[in-house]
Amino acid sequence: MKLVVIGHSIGCYFSLQVLKRAPELPVIRSFLLFPTIERMSESPKGKLATPLLCWFRYAFYVPGYLLLKPWPEKIKSLVIRMLLRRMNLQSEFSFLNLLEPFCLINAAYLGSQEMMEVVKRDNETIKEHLSKLTFYYGTIDAWCPKEYYEDMKKDFPEGDIRLCEKKIPHDFILYFYQEMADMVADWLKDDLSKI
């Protein structure tokens, strides 16, 4: 069995943790798409999110329970459908949990932990597994700006570190999922043809 690990955003941090903590796994490739693996709270989006997630999130707990908990499921469903339509998205999945106070509180807590935990890039793990890593950075990414790409290229000049030339945003999963899937599939086919 051979494994390919693909991570997006914070999933890239998890992908590196898998390589670090489970070296016995037969991972042959890892694609790190728009990798938030360092200085998360210092990024443009992180500078906005960190105070909200780390300090002000407690202010939302009581109103969240008082305002959202009593809403009937039909109203929650209507609000979610309106939000998705406004974002020009349609989904077959249920997003009702987004309006559950417990879910919102856990998401805020997870976000605060990410801001505090994802600080320093794990150069040791990257160096150890560099031959099987592909980093794909965005040119318009406020979670891992182009400066992070340039630093990575400088620190690992022999690595497969790519910069998106197509102006695909960090949240590609909303509108550019097929384009990204095709691109990663092509990279994987190229790799498999060399084996």
- Mean pLDDT value of segment 63-77: 63
9 among known catalytic residues: yes
Q: Give residue 28's identity as a one-letter amino acid code.
A: I
Q: Which of 9, 30, 41, 112 is catalytic?
A: 9
pLDDT at 96: 47
How is residue 121 written in tokens? Answer: 């890039």
Q: Which of 8, 30, 170, 182 is catalytic?
A: 170
How is residue 43 written in tokens? Answer: 């990024």
CA-to-CA distance for 68 and 8, rounded, in angstroms?
30
Containing 184, the helix (H) or strand (E) segment is helix 177-194
pLDDT in tens, 166-185: 999 998 887 888 999 999 99
Domain 3-39+121-194's class? alpha beta
Considering only residues 83 and 123, tell me which one the structure prediction assigns the higher pLDDT: 123
- Closest to 8 (Cα-Cα) out of 121, 179, 136: 136
Q: Which of 8, 15, 43, 141 is catalytic?
A: 141
- Mean pLDDT value of segment 124-132: 97
pLDDT at 92: 44
- Rg of the chain over Cα atoms, rounded to whole angstroms, equals 19
Q: Cα torsion at 154, 38, 177, 23 (round to 10°)?
A: 90
pLDDT at 76: 64
Each domain of the chain, given as residue ranges in start order, spans 3-39+121-194, 45-115
129 among known catalytic residues: no
Indicate if the pLDDT at residue 98 is higher than 70.
no
Indicate if the pLDDT at residue 89 is higher than 60.
no
- Mean pLDDT value of segment 73-92: 63
Indicate if the pLDDT at residue 20 is higher than 80.
yes
Residue 150 contacts residue 16 (beta carbons within 8 Å) = no
Indicate if the pLDDT at residue 59 is higher than 90.
no
> What pTM did the predictor assign?
0.79
41 among known catalytic residues: no
CA-to-CA distance for 62 and 104, rounded, in angstroms?
12
